[in-house]
Amino acid sequence: MDYKFFQNILNKQIFESSKRDLLEKIANYPERYIGLFRPTKPKAKLIQNLLQSNEIRFGDALEIIFEKYFEEFGYVTLPKKIEIENGYLDIDQLFKDKNYIYFIEQKVRDDHDSTKKVGQFNNFENKIVSLSKIYEEKKLLCFMYFIDPTLTKNKKYYKEKIEKIQSDYKISAKLFYGKEFWDEIKHSEVWNELLKYLEKWKKEIPDMPSINFDEDAKSTFEEIKTIKVSDYRKLFNNKEVCKEILPIIFPKNESLKLLQDYFSQLEDKQSIYKTLSIKINEYIK
């Protein structure tokens, strides 16, 4: 895989809508960021929220990257949304070659607590049951795969459970960490390339996410202008948010000035835009 392609997937998936998402969370859950009964100040909580979001998005990005690798090797990607009686199951990776169907429950690291590990494995088993109704059991290869080989907190538990599944369902199921999976499918080179690319990418990203959205006001405006008007109402009607949060995110109000001008141009379409334009203007003043 070309490094630029790899880099673009990570940056787009992790950073592209982070500002929009944060503002939406602030609008709908302001109590998570302000209030006396928190050991952190708003600025620290905002940074913490972005870091947590980036961790989740990193796992999503790796799913996309691995899917691209499988496609490069000639595997055919299969539909990842499986219909069940009560709704749907989302499959992390599902693809086929001329001989087998490959199902992968893919997670970045094995560091779940005792409650989550049970739920994690039950989810894995439920997907196996659903997939075995769709595809021939003898052709279905099932993998629980943790990418980070340095964290194996529940390895013994998962290994015992997977051995039981193999025995009860008479189906192929395996547990892998890190390079082991790529060795299994005869593409060990992917692991080496992944390590090299991640090391290079981490040197390029900032040490900490920035919560100054005015650093690139035009880019911020393009990202946040489509946030629902109801969310903007919540933001600018909340005095505590206006006092404690918005000055941190918009220290120079440059992004908000662009937003205010944009809303003023939409006044004729809906009166709410005029209301929001006035509220933003009052806040800036």
CB-facing half-sphere around the CA of 213: CA atoms within 13 A: 33
Question: How far is C-alpha 257 from the geometric centre of its chain's CA atoms?
Answer: 30
Q: Which residue has the tokens 């995110």?
A: 249
8 A C-beta contact, residue 103 and residue 142: yes
Tokens read off for 37: 């009964």
Identity at 204, one-letter amino acid code:
E
Q: What sign does the dihedral 32-36-38-40 (CA atoms) show?
A: positive
Q: What is the pTM of this model?
A: 0.87
Q: What is the pLDDT of residues 241-274, one digit of tens each?
A: 999 999 999 999 999 999 999 999 887 667 889 9
> Cα separation of 66 and 72, whole Å?
10
Q: What does the domain layout of the chain look like in residue ranges?
A: 3-60+207-284, 74-186
Whether 39 shows a pLDDT value over 90: the answer reads no
Whether 221 shows a pLDDT value over 80: the answer reads yes
Whether 37 shows a pLDDT value over 80: the answer reads no
pLDDT, mean over the chain: 92
Q: What is the pLDDT of residues 81-115, one digit of tens each?
A: 988 778 888 999 999 999 999 999 999 999 988 88
Which class is 74-186 in CATH? alpha beta
Q: What is the pLDDT of residues 49-82, one digit of tens each?
A: 999 999 999 999 999 999 999 999 999 999 999 8
253 in helix, strand or coil? coil
Whether 1 shows a pLDDT value over 80: the answer reads yes
Give the gyration radius of the chain's Cα atoms.
23
pLDDT of residue 270: 75
With left for phi above 0 and alpha for psi between -120 and 50, is residue 79 left, alpha or beta?
Answer: beta
